[in-house]
Amino acid sequence: MKGRDFVLEALHQYGVRHLFGNPGTTELPLMDGLAAREDIEYILALHEDISVAMAAGYAQVTGRPAVVNLHITPGLAHGLGNLYDAWRAGIPLVVTAGQHDSRLAVQEPALMGDLVQMARPFTKWAHEVRHVDELPLVLHRAFKTAQTEPCGPVFLSLPSDVMMAEMDARPWPLTEIVQAGLPEAQVLDRLTAWLAEAKQPVILVGDRAGRTGAIPALARLVEQLAIPVYIEHQSAGLGFPYDHPLCFGRCLPNGPYLKKILEGKDLILWFGVTSQAPLLYFPDSVVPCGARVVHIDCDAWEIGKNMPVDLAIQADLAGVAKALLERVRQRLAADSELMERVADRRGALAERQRRRAERRLQEVEAGRAQTPVSGAYLASVLAELLPDDAIVVDESVTSGRFVHGHLPLRDPHGLIALKGGGLGFGFPAALGAQLAAPHRRVVACIGDGSALYYIQALWTAVKYGLPVIFVIFNNASYMILKGGLLRMQGPAAARGVYPGMDLVPEPDFAAIARAFGAEGLRVDEPAQVRPALEAAFASRGPVVVDVRIEREVKPYLE
C-alpha cells in the first residue's frame, strides 16, 4: 500500500472515526486516500484553529486521542492557538500536517517551513517522517505518547513523497501503559496521620482528578474527615462536583484570593493541580507559615513546581484516594477524639455553605428584574433547565463566576473549559463534544469576545447537524480587560476610557446564526430569558441565544 493508505489504516485500527481539518495542496495525498474509504469521516472546518479545538472537545469527551490534519506552515500556524490550549489542558491529540515533497524542500517553495520546530513547544513529541518505513513506529509512538498521563498533543509532519511511497507493512498493535502506581505503605500511613492530626485542612483539586477517575474516592475521603475542597482556577474539566456539600467553588486566578482561602490552614493538599500560578505576579507566599504542604500528581514536573512541599507523591490519583479512604476509615473507627473534631468541623463547614447559598440566592433575586440581564439570573435559569447528562462547555471568561457559581456541575465527563487562556477554544470545542456524544445535549456558555474569534464554526455545526446550544453572555466588550484597568486605578479608570476593549458596533449574533443556517434568538429583557432557553432546548439543531447582560465595569485580575 501507499504511505497515505497505511496512515489511514493505522488510524482506523487505533479507533479513529473522525479526522478534523481544513485541507490544502500538501494534504491531497491523504484526501485522495480518504476517498477510497468509508470508515473515517472527514470533518471540515473553515479555519485550522477550529479543527484543533473541535478535535480537543471530541477527545475530552471520549478520553481517547483525536486526530487533526492541518495545511503545512500557515495551517499549523493558524492552529497553534488552540494547540496551546490543548497542551495546557493535557488533551490527547495527534496533530498532523502535510509537508512538501522532501526533494523540493531545498528549493524553498511557497508554504515551506520547519513544522517540527513550530509545534515542539506545545507538544509532548514532534517529528517529521523521513521515510515511509518509519510509519509503523511513528504512528504507534504518537498514539501511545498522546494518551499516556500526563496526556497531551503530539505532532507529525507528513511529506508528500512519504505519503505516496509504496510500503509493505501492517500497523503495530497499540501499546497502552497501565498507570496504577502507589506509594509505599509508610508514605500513605504518614499522610493519613497528618490528615487526622490537622485542625484546619484544605484540599485543592485539579481537573486531573476527574480525568483519572479519582473523584468518587476523593469525595468519600473528604466526607469522612469534613475537609473543604476548592477547585483549581482555569480547570479544563471537572475536578470535583460543584454541588457537593464540601465544595467551596472554583478558585479565582489571583494571588490575594489564594492567600485568603489558605489563611489559617495547617495542612494543604494539592491533588492533581496544574494551574498553580496566578495570572499576575504576586510576591507573597500563598501558603501560611507552618502549614504542612502535600502535593499528589501523576506528573513529577508539576509536584512542588512553584513551592517546596513536605510530602511529594507521584502516583495514580484514583489509587491514592482509595488507599487513603480505607486508612482514614480505620483511623476514625479507633479514634473518638478525631470523630468529635470532625463533627465540629462538619458543622462549621455546613454553616459556611448555608451562607454561600444564601448569597447566591440574593444575587439571583437582585437580578430577576435587571436590564440589561443579570449574568447570575441567566445562569440560574440555565441551571434549572439543564439536563442531568448535559455537557457544559465554558468560555464565558468574565462571566465565568456566574457559570461556575450557579450551574450544578457534577459529571466528571460533563464539563469542558478553557485552561490555556487563549480565546477561541470553547465555540468549536462544543462541536467536537457534540460529535463525540450525539445523545447528550451540549450547552456552550461563551463570551461575546470569544464567540467572535470563530463564529464561522456555526457553518460546521449546520453542515454536520450538531445541535449545540450557544448561550452568549454578551457584555459588548473585553470586560475582563476593562476590570483589569479599573483595578490599576490609572488614567483609564479615572476617565472611564478603555482603549481597544469595546465591541461596538455590536454584532447581531442571532442574525449571524441565521445567516449560517442555525437558529438565532436575542434576549434583551429578563422576562425573555426562560422562553428563549426553553425554545433552544426544544430545538433539534444548533441554536445561538444572544443575551445582552450587564455592562458595569468592576475590578478584576487582582
Sign of the dihedral through C-alpha 155, 419, 17, 215: positive
The mean pLDDT of the chain is 96
Which tens digit of pLDDT belongs to each residue from 318-340? 999 999 999 999 999 999 999 99
Encode 432-452: b = buried (16+ Cβ within 10 Å), e = exposed: bbbbbbeebbbbbbbbbbbbb
- Among 10, 14, 22, 15, which residue's Cα sits nearest to residue 52? 22
Which regions of the chain carry the CATH code 3.40.50.1220? 185-351
Quote the cell numbers at residue 551: 455592562
pLDDT tens string 22-41: 999 999 999 999 999 999 99
For residues 512-533, give the mean pLDDT.
Answer: 98
> Which residues are 470's β-sheet partners?
444, 544
3-state secondary structure 180-217: CCCCCHHHHHHHHHHHHHCCCEEEEECCHHHHCCCHHH
In angstroms, rounded to a whole number, what is the distance separating the alpha carbons of residues 132 and 431? 34
Residue 279 pLDDT exceeds 90: no
Using DSSP, state whether 416 is helix, strand or coil: strand
Digit-coded pLDDT (tens) for 162-194: 999 999 999 999 999 998 889 999 999 999 999
Task: End-to-end CA distance of the chain: give it in Å, rounded.
Answer: 59
Residue 382 — pLDDT band, cuts 50, 70, 90?
A: very high
Question: Please, how many CA atoms are within 13 Å of residue 269, restricted to the half-sphere of its CB?
Answer: 24
- Could you tell me if 202 and 267 are in contact, meaning their C-beta atoms sit under 8 angstroms apart? yes
Residue 141 pLDDT level (bands cut at 50, 70, 90): very high
Whether the full predicted model's pTM is greater than 0.85, yes or no, is: yes
The percent of residues above 70 in pLDDT, for the chain, comes to 100
Does the domain spanning 368-548 belong to CATH 3.40.50.970?
A: yes
* pLDDT for res 1: 93
CA distance 68 to 27: 12
Query: What are the backbone dihedrals phi and psi of residue 340, each rounded to the nearest 5 degrees, phi first?
Result: -65, -40
What's the pLDDT at 181? 87
Q: Is 273 exposed, middle or buried (0-12, 13-18, 19+ CB in 10 A)?
A: buried
192-222 tens-digit pLDDT? 999 999 999 999 999 999 999 999 999 999 9
Cis bond before residue 372 (omega within 30° of 0): yes
- CATH 3.40.50.970 domain extents, the chain: 3-164, 368-548
pLDDT over 70 (residue 558): no
* C-alpha cell of residue 391: 455537557
The reported pLDDT for the residue numbered 377 is 98
CATH of 185-351, one of 3.40.50.1220, 3.40.50.920, 3.30.300.10, 3.40.50.10210: 3.40.50.1220
**Pick from 521, 508, 518: which is nearest to 476 by CA?**
508
Closest CA to 267 of 233, 238, 296, 301: 296
**Other residues' Cβ atoms within 10 Å of the Cβ of residue 43:** 24
Whole-number Cα distances in Å, 497 to 196, 372, 475, 482, 491: 53, 21, 16, 9, 8
Residue for grid cell 506545545:
122
Q: What is the CATH superfamily name and number for domain 3-164? A: Thiamin diphosphate (ThDP)-binding fold, Pyr/PP domains (3.40.50.970)
pLDDT for 76: 98
Q: Are 115 and 155 in contact (CB under 8 A)?
A: yes
Query: How much is the pLDDT for 180?
Result: 86
- The two beta strands, 247-250 and 267-271, are unpaired
CA distances from 421 to 17, 273, 374, 398 (A): 29, 16, 24, 12
Please give the grid coordinates belonging to residue 91.
488533551
Residue 493 has pLDDT above 80, yes or no: yes
* Distance, CA of 323 to CA of 283 (rounded, Å): 37
Over the stretch 244-263, which tens digit does the pLDDT of each residue have? 999 999 999 889 999 999 99
Mean pLDDT (whole number) for 509-525: 98
**301/228 Cα distance (integer angstroms):** 26
What pLDDT digit, counting tens, does each position of 96-114 carry? Answer: 999 999 999 899 999 999 9
Question: Quick check: 307 pLDDT over 70?
Answer: yes
Three-state DSSP class for residue 447: strand
